[in-house]
Amino acid sequence: MQAVKAANLGLRFLLELAAIAALAYWGWGVSWVVAIAAPAVWIALWATFGSPKARVALSAGQRIAFEAVVFGAAAVALWAAGREAWAVVLFAAWAANRATITALASR
């Protein structure tokens, strides 16, 4: 069970990096300023509300809603950049990862 938890947390980290990269990719198509600002805003929000050491504690429901919004924003950015399939993959991978985290937490 520990191996599954560790692998799932590793996947979570890769998904966080993918979301940042997605926002930078979309932003580059807009301007170099947006390519820097969009990931920076995502990182600031994640550090404040989403990370394990977040400054603001959220209830389980609030946390899931927050994650859906921030990962959804990254997926929408990919979609807007013309990478529809990758947008779907990113959001689906987040949803599966979140479901696994929730299931493992209840054990």
pLDDT in tens, 27-64: 999 999 999 999 999 999 999 999 989 999 999 999 99
Phi, psi of 52 (to 5 degrees): -60, -30
Contacts of 26 (CB under 8 A, 6+ apart): 34, 38, 77, 78, 80, 81
Quote the CA–CA distance of 99 and 46 in Å, as a whole number: 19
Amino acid at 87: A
Give me the number of domains the chain comprises: 1
pTM for the whole thing? 0.92
- pLDDT (0 to 100) of residue 83: 97
The rounded percent of the chain whose pLDDT value lies above 90 is 89
Q: What's the domain range around 21?
A: 2-105
SS3 51: coil
- pLDDT (0 to 100) of residue 54: 93
